[in-house]
A and B are shown apart, each in its own frame.
Chain A
C-alpha cells in the first residue's frame, strides 16, 4: 500500500534525552521541545534513512524490532500525522 510520503530532519537537528522510557526531543529548527513515546522515536529513526510512507517505515522498523499485529501500519500512519502537526516530519 502506498500512502503519503514523509521526510524527517537530519539527526543533528534533533537532540534527544531518554527519561524513563520516553524521549524528550529538542528540535533545533523550531526551538520546540516535544515529549514522545515509542514508536515515535523509532519512526523518526526509520525516516532518517530516506523518504518513506507508513508501509516502508514499517518494513524498516521490522528489520530492527519485533512488531506485532495488522494495526501496526495504521498506528504508524496516525503517529506520522501527529509528528507532521508537531513539525518533526514533513511532506517533500
Chain B
C-alpha cells in the first residue's frame, strides 16, 4: 500500500494495523500533518517498542501544541477584549478551544480568527498595540492583493511569541463565487466557558468543506477530511444536526462542497453521512480521492499532473480568469 493509503487505513481502523511498512506510515503521517492524530489513534495498540517511542514523543508534542494554541487564543482575546467585538476562532484552534474530538492530536499552525468586516482596522490596530507586527517583506502588491481581494488582513506575527495570526472577515476570498454569509456565521457563533468563540457546529462543517474545496489545492486534504470525520461523528449524535447542516450549507451557497466533503470522508474514513446531503456520487470523486492519496512510501508527493490540475483549479476558484492572469503575471515579474 502507498504511504497515504497506509495512513488512511490506520486512522480509520487502528486495530487493523499489522507489522508492515512502518517507515512509510510515519513519513506519510508527518507529510500530511497527521502524526499527532495517528499517535493518539494508535494508543493502546500492540506495537513494536521503537514505534511506540516515536508515537509517544508525538503525543507529548501534540499536547504541547495544544497548550500553545490555547494560550495564543487567550492572549488574542485579551488584546481584543477592549474592542468588545465578536472574535471567532477557526480551524484547529477552534477544535482545541471547544475540546472537540477533532482536537485530539491535532497539530496547530497560525491562529485564524473571524471578525466583523467593519472592525478589521481597529482589530489590526489593537493587535499591533499588543505586540504583533506586520511581516517584514510585505511588498505593496501583496498587501493590496490581501486587502482588496482576499478575505483576510495580511498576516501579523507576534514580536516575542513568534506566532502568526490571520484575521478574516469571511471564510472565502471575496473574489470566489460562493458568497458565505459572514454576518450569519458570527450571529450563530458559540460562546465557550473560557470566553472564546467558535462557529456553530453546522457552520464549522461548512467552513471545513469550504476551506478544503473552494480555497485550496487539496494539499493537506487528508487532514481536513479527518477533521470533518471527527467533527461529524460528534455532531451527528444530535438528530437535528443534519437538517441544520443542510440549511446552513444552502445559506452560505456551499451545498456542493459540503456534499463532496461528506462523500469523500465516507469514502476514505467510512464516516456515517446523511445520504440526502451527500448526494449521489460523481465521476470526479475518484480524481479527488486520487489527489488526496498521492503520496508514496517515502512521503513524496506523486501524480504531478493531477496535482498541477488541482493547483490551477484552486486559483481559478479564488479569482476570475482575468484577475488570475494579472496575478500570475505580477508574481512572475517579482
Binding site for B on A (CB under 8 A): 28-32, 85-87, 90-91
Contacts and interface: CB of A to CB of B under 8 A. Distances in A.
Contacts of B160: 85-86
Contacts of B251: none
A85 B78 CA distance: 10
B74 to A, nearest CB: 8
Given A85-B131, A85-B160, A30 B67 contact: yes
15 contacts: A29-B67, A29-B70, A29-B74, A30-B67, A30-B68, A30-B71, A31-B68, A31-B71, A32-B161, A85-B131, A85-B160, A86-B160, A87-B71, A90-B78, A91-B78
Contacts of A85: 131, 160
Query: Secondary structure at chain B's binding surface: helix, strand, loop or mixed?
Result: helix
B64 interface: yes
Contact of A31 (B67, B75, B78): B67
A91 B71 CA distance: 16
Contacts of A30: 67-68, 71, 75
User: Which applies to chain A's interface (DSSP): helix, strand, loop or mixed?
Assistant: loop
Given A30-B68, A91-B78, 9 more contacts: A28-B67, A29-B70, A29-B74, A31-B64, A31-B67, A85-B131, A85-B160, A86-B160, A87-B71
A3 B58 CA distance: 45
Contacts of B78: 90-91
A29 B71 contact: yes
B83 to A, nearest CB: 14
Nearest to A28: B67
Interface of B: 64, 67-68, 70-71, 74-75, 78, 131, 160-161
List the 7 shortest-distance A-B pairs measured between CB atoms, nearest first: A30-B71, A31-B67, A31-B68, A31-B64, A90-B78, A87-B75, A29-B71
A87 B161 CA distance: 10
A29 B74 CA distance: 10
Contacts of A28: 67
A39 B74 CA distance: 26
Contacts of A29: 67, 70-71, 74
A87 B71 CA distance: 9
A34 to B, nearest CB: 10
B159 to A, nearest CB: 9
Nearest to A27: B71
B107 to A, nearest CB: 15
Contacts of A32: 71, 161
A32 B71 CA distance: 10
A54 B333 CA distance: 56
A33 B328 CA distance: 44
Contacts of B161: 32
A28 B64 CA distance: 10
Nearest to A86: B160
Which of A28, A31, A85 is packed against the most chain B CB atoms within 10 Å?
A31
Contacts of A31: 64, 67-68, 71
A4 to B, nearest CB: 12
Nearest to B66: A31
Nearest to A91: B78
B77 to A, nearest CB: 10
A86 B161 CA distance: 9
B130 to A, nearest CB: 8
A86 B78 CA distance: 12
Nearest to B68: A31
Contacts of B74: 29
A30 to B, nearest CB: 4
Nearest to A85: B131
A5 B316 CA distance: 52
Contacts of B131: 85
A30 B71 CA distance: 5
A85 B131 CA distance: 8
